[in-house]
Amino acid sequence: MRVLVLGGDGYLGWPTAMHFSAAGHTVMAVDNYLRRTIALQTRSQALMTNPDLEQRAELFRALTGKEIGVRIGDCTDFRFLEGVFKEYNPDAVVHYAEQPSAPYSMRGYEEAELTLRNNLTTTLNVIWAVQKQAPACHIIKLGTMGEYGTPNIDIEEGWIDIEHRGRKDHFLFPRQAGSLYHTTKILDTDLLWFYVRTWKLRVTDLMQGPVYGLSTPEADLDERLAPNFHYDDLFGTVVNRFLVQAVAGVPLTVYGKGGQTRGYLNLLDTLQCVQLAVDKPAHPGQLRVLNQFTECFSVNDLAGLVQKAGKHLGLNVEIEHLPNPRKEAEEHYYNPAHSGLLELGLKPHHLDEGVLAAMLEQIVRCRRDIDRAKIHPRVRW
Amino acid sequence: MRVLVLGGDGYLGWPTAMHFSAAGHTVMAVDNYLRRTIALQTRSQALMTNPDLEQRAELFRALTGKEIGVRIGDCTDFRFLEGVFKEYNPDAVVHYAEQPSAPYSMRGYEEAELTLRNNLTTTLNVIWAVQKQAPACHIIKLGTMGEYGTPNIDIEEGWIDIEHRGRKDHFLFPRQAGSLYHTTKILDTDLLWFYVRTWKLRVTDLMQGPVYGLSTPEADLDERLAPNFHYDDLFGTVVNRFLVQAVAGVPLTVYGKGGQTRGYLNLLDTLQCVQLAVDKPAHPGQLRVLNQFTECFSVNDLAGLVQKAGKHLGLNVEIEHLPNPRKEAEEHYYNPAHSGLLELGLKPHHLDEGVLAAMLEQIVRCRRDIDRAKIHPRVRW
């Protein structure tokens, strides 16, 4: 199989590229370093230094003999992206190439405009590049569980049957998100669904929860192959932030009451899910939506787990409740379905003390590089 | 009241600007002539020549003594739009400033990209200009009934209560549109709803059906003040196209079976609806959605009405069924609610032979300018 990974330098993109390459597929990774650029501009650099994408691909080849093709370019430039599809003719494209930070998207006009334009134009360009250059190519799009928000009804996998005044129809599950970034993923879904109906594209839209973890079989070959690890307020997700705070000896910063509940998954399970999607593609004319997470935790649950894991390593972990910088429900109903990927064959890894302890040990090795100024929220909405 | 009309040169924008000015409001109209530019590039010019926006405003002032401010500029340029809001500080902004042609949006990549970028960026810019420069300003956004598509359940006004597995919540009514243009209006609604929740904006989103008519009290003062009248396959809606075909002596071109049913309204009722929205604004934090049409017709109904009206003027009108250039249901359930505007005070004008006969007479006067090459569909999807 020929697999094209857009956003191949990212936290998920690089491990995905290595995973498919190690599994014997032909892989090309595309990136324009947008996340690195924003991180540099906003003092949000990752904890460990990551070699650039070309260096990582060279190192991976030296260690494994497997080749990962690299193209540095901007997916919002249609001529560039169409050229990549024409040259490479992928069987599947994994589309991670979006500005991924919710707080960044809420920082000001320029950041909002960049996020909207980057994310929507890239999705439009992927659709058109597939239609023009590789019409049988299966589009695997990374969406987010955040598209659904926190409704007062059970969240289904992408779709819902509505019976209304004695008549029935089948619709996209209603979506309402908590940041502009998450809203752009809703717009992506709407856009994909329109073109799927119109052109009979094959699309899998993965509604993913927050991912944690640094270890994959390939990443573990050499620390320079590790995924990037952000713990700052823009790119760092809550698990990362808590782990770094535990190591740095500062209290874990719970936003508000801490009842905010989401579905989480291990990086290893993201790789499994994307692999399952590639192996069992959507049909022409199908927008297949899969809820991609393995277990639900509240922010308070996560703080408690990190505290416990820290204690076993001799870390004295305290918990502090900050005024919530975000507009979000701090106590809410949350019951999202997630059977689709299990039915495709997903074997979940669970978040336990062992996983957290292994991450804590990696972070302890970089303890002196932790910049505490990066952790506290700088953007409020 | 200070009313800002974005897209003030358009079929709806110019009559709206005159209407509010005649009613004693302070009006500013903004346009960058995007529709005229596209019409010129695609040989889709209007039937009657319309003076430019500044000339029309001068003529209107000469005839009525009322001043309509004009700014020529691009609403996708945030600095320009923010400057207009800062200078003008409107109480209400009527946002018509979008690429309005469904077939144009389906023509090719460049047209799709322009439509997506123009429409979404303008909506984002309106939101941010209001938030930064005029936070109490009421945003009146022109959406489309096309956002809903043709579901198999009754269409409510923007929102729906869903009961699912014993629990309930209130959601945006599910939307799925038939062209990229219509899809951009769905994305606009999603974007507005996000910022309404986050910033407590006041927004009225008008889900409008196709509009017909050339006559308003102000437009009738001088033929040079008439709204633009498009009958081509890109900008001409079905009523206009049929009327011109009737006059030109070519068969009315029904796409497919002709059972496609939509809600229509007279231009006079658009003006009433926008006036009612301005007079009774949405509350802070409210996304008020109103379905803006007065009666439903199928394409076959409209062809029959035009045929009948033509007969009385001595025109021999034939009807021809073309293969449908669009992907759309040609026979479907359609029962959309539209009580909100009636409750606000709308007094509908109905589509009858008199209205059609008056339009036919105006078109007969321009008979020799009709370009038959403009009528047949050039874009298929």
pLDDT in tens, B71-123: 999 999 999 999 999 999 999 999 999 999 999 999 999 999 999 999 999 99
* CB within 8 Å: A78 and B160: no
| Percent of the residues in chain A that have a pLDDT greater than 90, as a whole number | 99
Rounded to the nearest 10°, the torsion over CA A363, A367, A369, A374 is 80
Query: Quick check: helix, strand or coil at residue A277?
Result: helix
Question: Catalytic pick from A96, A181, A264, A334?
Answer: A181
Give the per-residue pLDDT at A179. Answer: 98
What average pLDDT does the segment B290-304 reach?
98
B120 at interface of A, judged by CB pairs closer than 8 A = yes
Cβ proximity of B196 and B187 under 8 Å: no
Minimum CA–CA partner of B184 in chain A: A191
In chain B, whose CA is at the least distance from the CA of A126? B109
Test A152 with B174 for CB contact under 8 angstroms.
no
Chain B interface includes A48 (CB < 8 A): no
Query: A37-76: per-residue pLDDT in tens?
Result: 999 999 999 999 999 999 999 999 999 999 999 999 999 9
Close Cβ partners of B379 (under 8 Å, ≥ 6 residues apart): B103, B104, B106, B107, B233, B234, B325
Report yes or no: B79 at the A interface, CB cutoff 8 Å. Answer: no
Mark B35-57 as b/e (b = at least 16 C-beta within 10 Å): bbebbeebebbbbbebeebeebb
What is the reported pLDDT for A199?
Answer: 98
Cβ-Cβ contacts under 8 Å, A168 against chain B: 152-153
Pair B331, B248: CB distance under 8 Å: no
Structure confidence at residue A333 (pLDDT): 98
The pLDDT of residue B244 is 96
Pair A158, A291: CB distance under 8 Å: yes
Q: What pLDDT was estimated at residue B178? A: 97
Does the beta carbon of B319 lie under 8 angstroms from any beta carbon of chain A?
no
Give the pLDDT of residue B134. Answer: 98
Inter-chain touch A162–B167, beta carbons under 8 Å: no
How far is residue B70's CA from residue B88's CA, in Å, rounded to a whole number? Answer: 11
Q: What is the pLDDT of residue A110?
A: 98
Greatest C-alpha distance within chain A: 65
> What confidence tier does A165 reach under pLDDT thresholds 50, 70, 90?
very high
- With CB atoms and an 8 Å threshold, state whether A162 touches B171: no
Is the distance from CB of B298 to CB of B381 less than 8 angstroms? no
Q: What is the mean pLDDT of residues B46-64?
A: 97
Nearest to B191 among A160, A183, A191 (CB): A183
Does A253 qualify as catalytic in the annotation?
Answer: no
Percent residues over pLDDT 70 in chain A = 100
Predicted confidence (pLDDT) per residue in B115-131, tens digit:
999 999 999 999 999 99
| Domains in chain A, CATH or no CATH each | 2-374 (3.40.50.720)
Q: What is the torsion angle, in degrees rounded to the nearest 10, for the CA atoms of residue B104, residue B106, residue B110 and residue B115?
A: 70
Residue A192: its pLDDT value, please?
98
Residue A19 pLDDT level (bands cut at 50, 70, 90): very high
pLDDT of residue A134: 98
What is the model's pLDDT at position A58? 98
Task: With beta carbons under 8 A apart, name residues in chain A contacting B120.
Answer: 116, 120, 187
Question: What is the pLDDT at residue B193?
Answer: 98
Question: Is residue A122 annotated as a catalytic residue, yes or no?
Answer: no
B121 in contact with A, Cβ within 8 Å? yes
The pTM assigned to this predicted structure is: 0.98
How far does B158 lie from chain A, in Å, by closest CA?
Answer: 12
Which A residues in the span 205-224 are in contact with B, Cβ-Cβ below 8 Å?
none
Strand partners, B321: B254
How far apart (Å, rounded) are the C-alpha atoms in residues B238 and B232?
Answer: 10
Q: What pLDDT band is residue A222 in, cutting at 50, 70 and 90?
A: very high
| Partner A contacted by B80 (CB < 8 A) | no
- The C-alpha angle with vertex A179 and arms to A177 and A182, in degrees rounded to 5, equals 60
CB distance B377 to B233 below 8 Å: yes
Question: What residues contact residue A108 under an 8 Å CB cut-off, 6+ apart?
Answer: none
Instruction: Render B181-194 in DSSP notation, one character per residue.
Output: HHHHHHHHHHHHHH
A356 Cα distance to chain centroid: 19
User: A34 in helix, strand or coil?
Assistant: helix
CB contact under 8 A, B112 and A124: yes
Confidence of residue B173 (pLDDT cuts 50, 70, 90): very high
DSSP summary character for residue B107: S
- Least Cα separation, residue B185 to chain A (angstroms): 11
H runs (alpha helix) in chain B: 13-22, 34-41, 53-64, 78-88, 102-105, 109-133, 180-199, 238-248, 267-279, 299-312, 340-344, 353-364
C-beta atoms of A121 and B121 within 8 A: no
Please state, rounded to an integer, the average pLDDT across all residues of chain B.
97
DSSP A155: B
Helix, strand, coil distribution of chain B in percent, nearest 5: 40, 20, 40
Q: Which helix (H) or strand (E) holds B143?
A: strand B138-144
Give the model confidence (pLDDT) of A75-104 as tens digits.
999 999 999 999 999 999 999 999 999 999
Q: Which residues 158-177 of chain A have a CB within 8 Å of chain B?
A: 160, 162-165, 167-169, 171-172, 174-177
The answer to whether B116 contacts A120, with C-beta atoms less than 8 Å apart, is yes
**Number of neighbouring beta carbons within 10 Å of residue B26:** 17
Q: Which two tokens stand for residue A239?
A: 């698990």
Question: Residue A168 is nearest to which of B152, B176, B381, comparing CB atoms?
Answer: B152
Assess whether A185 carries a catalytic annotation: yes
- Mean of all residue pLDDT scores within chain A: 97
Query: Which residues in chain B have Cβ-Cβ distances shorter than 8 Å to A120?
Result: 116, 120, 187
Tell whether B152 lies on the interface with A, counting CB pairs under 8 A: yes
The answer for residues whose C-beta is within 8 angstroms of residue A247's C-beta and 6 or more apart is A315, A360, A363, A364, A367, A370
Identify the band that residue B359 occupies on the pLDDT scale cut at 50, 70 and 90.
very high
Best of B80, B124, B333 to disrupt the A interface by mutation (most A CBs within 10 Å)? B124
Q: Do A116 and B124 touch (CB under 8 A)?
A: yes
Considering only CB atoms, which chain A residues are within 8 Å of B164? 153-154, 160
Task: Determine whether A338 is exposed, middle or buried from the number of CB atoms within 10 Å of its CB (0-12, 13-18, 19+).
Answer: buried
Active-site annotation holder among A66, A141, A185, A374: A185
pLDDT the model gives residue B149: 98
Q: How far is B18 from chain A (nearest CA, A)?
A: 33
CB A53 within 8 A of CB A13: no
Mean pLDDT (whole number) for A194-216: 97
**For residue A74, what are its two tokens?**
């901007």
CA distance B35 to chain A (A): 22
- Over residues A311-357, the pLDDT tens digits come to 999 999 999 999 999 999 999 999 999 999 999 999 999 999 999 99
CB pairs under 8 A between A and B: 110
- Across residues A297-303, what is the average pLDDT? 98
Read off the pLDDT of each residue in A286-304 and give the average, rounded to a whole number. 98
Nearest CA to CA, how far is A340 from chain B (Å)?
19
pLDDT tens column, B190-247: 999 999 999 999 999 999 999 999 999 999 999 999 999 999 999 998 999 999 999 9
Residue type, A138: H
Distance from A371 to chain B by nearest Cα, in Å?
31
